[in-house]
Amino acid sequence: MKFTISALATAAALTALPGFAQELVLSIGSRGYGPAVERNIERYAAENPDVSIEWNKVSDVPGETRKLYVTGLTAKSPTPDIYAVDVIWAGEFAQRGWLEPLNGLLDEATIDAFNPSLLAASTVDGEVHALPLYADGIHFFYRTDLLEKYGLDVPQTWEEVLAASQTITEGEGNPQLYGFVSMWAKIEGLFMNWLAFANGNGGGFYDAEGNVAVNSPANIEATQFMVDLLHEHRITPDSILNARPDDARTLFQQGRAAFLMVQDFVHAPLSADNSPVAGKFDFTRVPYFEGHEDANSTTMGGWFLGINPNSDNKEAAADFLAHFTAQEQQLTAAVEDNRAPTIPGIYDNDAMKGNAVLAKFGKNYDYGVVRPSAGSGSKYPRVSEIMQLEITNALHRQKTVEEALNDAQAQLDALLSE
Amino acid sequence: MTNMTSPLDRRRHLTGMAFITPTMAVIIAILVYPILQSIVLSFGQSSIDGSEPYSFVGLKHYATLAGNERFWNSLWVTLVFTGLSIPLELAMGIGLAVLLNEHFRFKGIARLAVLFPWALPTALNTLMWRWMYNTDYGLFNAAALQSGIVDRPINWLGDETLAMGSMVVVAVWKTSSFMALIILAGLQSIPRELYEAGRMDGMTRWQEFREITLPLLKGPILVALIVRSMDALRTFELPFNLTDGGPVTATESLSLYAYKVIFDFIEFNYGAAIVVVQFLVIFAMSLLYILTLRNKD
């Protein structure tokens, strides 16, 4: 009985407290923006002592995070209040009513500061549904010490990558050392990889007229090259077929691969003090095939922050969101963590001078290609699934490259005409 | 004498009803309602946020299913997985149960140890196995490479046949102990006198096992088979955590396929049709077992 009374008293005291702390839940992974998330929350807490922010660290595998969100959003759960969405979901989630329109919650100047082409990805019916947090893309990482040892230049084309891999692996004679590693598991990253190869050969998802043309001769040739890297030249490990970005990064970091192709985020762990390859690696733009040096082969990605329409604290969430993505926070993230800002003005800031890594990331983004998510809207998950499945069929030699891409084309035609 | 209901009988009847009503209400709410809802969804077209009202489309989704290679593949994968893992689990389970029924030191600890794989959550077990299967750092490849059996790592989870085999191994490792537990309970209910009589007749240990133990274990074995088959036909956490259905779709079970359709593609109606088919498969399997059980009595 005593317990009940004291519990009631506590509850009464809590509700009577003036300015009772508001609680917000933020869902974002720790890999892409980790150090910045902690810093931004601390900064916000210092200015807003009456708001407490809980960081719900979600999976760094986007597909897994997506499933988590879909479950919660379908059930109209009020948490999280603010959540990070992949650029490829922004349009779809907005269409489905899973992101609160921001135009009414934030003033125009705040929204207009962002890169308009990024904002377009989350704009549905003229309303912005999420703010871009950072942009990223895939890059080609290489071991400077190994290239130097064998007197090789930094490979620019896939043909050079193949030749350099063969020279290095034969020279080292170590069965534990592979030439090229990347993320070829049946995940979104595989589709990003394929776009890099296909566009690097003058192909791509669309043809010059904007029609879906995944089975074009240039694409077939590029895909065949991927299959040959694995089965014919054997410069990639068999495990590349199960590898997600971090699996590939781990192999490279442990000195077991000469070349690695994944997103920006690996730069931080690779250059950490305890990394075996720290100081022994550098990166360049994604390779292209001979004769296609102007190809847009850097597959782009990025993350947005939006507000859950079922949140109980939309106003507070909007205030936090604006603070989190504001110029000041993005500038620190750019300088400290090499995260590419989404507010164009930041690149001209004096504090940015001397950040060679981000400048190089930025140069690679000049050759950027985006995934066809804007064109396919809420059908994008199925578009990506068709491509992932058929590319996997080709990589496992369940189908010839031509069969696989023809099948993909037929399924895409049927899906997109629905 | 047809109208025997005295006020007392009626009151007893009402009291009984009152006692079972809450239980029935819960069962209807969490079991019957979702099943009916799935069936309703599978015959219609609707949107999850209610922007598109429910419209009846008849067998449209079932027709799509019938022509979908990926659906047939997942059904086949599910049946192969069940067909391979259940007999192995049963054999292991009987073996373990017979061993654990013997008297030896530390019997209590041994019984506890056998239950360990079953007591841990499947997702956790599976992640542990995924590391052991890992091509570049895994235990199995380290052993195989260092002992010189192979000179290139085996891609356990990246090869169609090996991936299914690897999955069956995890299932057998995990659930044999469950079979053993049920069968052990059955073993302990067999009267000792039967064995004594057998020994007097000069039976060997093998004859005892075949003539006394096995026939008397039929009941527990059938129960174990029903429960495990239903589990295997619904298998989800295992392929989801071990292979995500890959390579390609070589280990994509019905549950995993339905999950992808519902949560990745957000097609609840089509997904519901898959779930209903799965329900029918499990229902048919259970019916088969129950009929077999009845005939034996």
What chain A holds in terms of domains, given with CATH numbers, is: 20-136+301-368 (3.40.190.10), 137-299+373-416 (3.40.190.10)
Peptide bond into B247 cis (omega under 30): yes
What gap in Å lies between CA A33 and CA A41, rounded to an integer?
Answer: 12
C-beta atoms of B153 and A239 within 8 A: yes
Residue-wise pLDDT tens digits, B28-65: 999 899 999 999 999 999 877 666 788 899 899 999 99
Give Dmax over CA atoms of chain B in angstroms: 87
CB of A181 within 8 A of CB of A260? yes
- Closest to B49 (Cβ–Cβ): which among A66, A97, A382? A97
Residue B26 lies in a domain: no
- Produce one character per residue of A4-30: b if its CB has 16 or more CB atoms within 10 Å, e if not: eeeeeeeeeeeeeeeeeebebbbbbbe
Query: Other CB atoms closer than 10 Å to residue B10's CB: what's the count?
Result: 10
In a domain, B36, yes or no: no
Residue B44 domain flag: no
Is B244 near chain A, with CB under 8 Å? Answer: yes
Domain membership of residue B123 as a residue range: 73-296
Cβ pairs A/B, distance under 8 A: 64
CATH code for the domain in which residue B223 is found: 1.10.3720.10
A206-211 contact pairs (CB < 8 A, 24+): A206/A372, A206/A375
pLDDT digits (tens, 9 = 90+) for A47-100: 999 899 999 999 888 878 988 998 899 888 999 999 999 999 998 898 888 999
Q: Looking at the domain assignment, is residue B57 inside a domain?
A: no
**For chain B, what is the domain count?**
1
Q: B151 and chain A: CB distance < 8 Å anywhere? A: yes
- Quick check: A67 and B244 CB within 8 A? no
Interface with B, mutate which of A239, A250, A251, A397 (most B CBs under 10 A): A239
Round to whole Å and give the CA distance between A186 and B15.
Answer: 58
Which one has a higher pLDDT value, A202 or B12?
A202
Name the percent of chain B lying above pLDDT 90: 46
Q: Give residue B296's pLDDT.
A: 54
DSSP symbols for A323-357: HHHSHHHHHHHHHHH-PBPSSGGGGGSGGGTT-HH
| Nearest neighbour of B266 by CB, restricted to A70, A97, A186 | A70
Q: Does position A7 have pLDDT exceeding 60, yes or no? A: no
pLDDT of residue A17: 46
pTM of the predicted protein model:
0.82
Mean pLDDT confidence for A27-42 = 90
Confidence of residue B1 (pLDDT cuts 50, 70, 90): very low
Residue ranges of E strands in chain B: 44-45, 55-56
Contact call for A251 and B136, based on CB within 8 A: yes
- The per-residue pLDDT for range A233-263, each reduced to its tens digit, is 999 999 999 999 999 999 999 999 999 999 9
Residue B161, burial from CB neighbour count under 10 angstroms (0-12, 13-18, 19+):
exposed
Most confident of the ranges A366-375, B11-20, B160-169:
B160-169
Which of B259, B264, B269, B270 would you mutate first to test chain A, the one with the most A CBs within 10 A?
A: B264
Q: Which residues of B touch A71 (CB under 8 A)?
A: 263
Model pLDDT for residues A185-233, shown as the tens digit of each residue = 999 999 999 999 999 999 999 998 889 999 999 999 999 999 999 999 9
B34 belongs to a structural domain? no
In terms of DSSP bridges, do strands A22-29 and A82-86 run parallel, antiparallel, or are they unpaired? parallel
- Shortest CB distance from B136 goes to which of A71, A97, A239? A239
Distance CA A192, CA A196 (A): 6
Determine, yes or no, domain membership for B78. Answer: yes
Q: Say what the pLDDT of residue B4 is.
A: 56
Q: Within an 8 Å CB–CB cutoff, is residue B256 touching chain A?
A: no
Residue B22 included in any domain: no
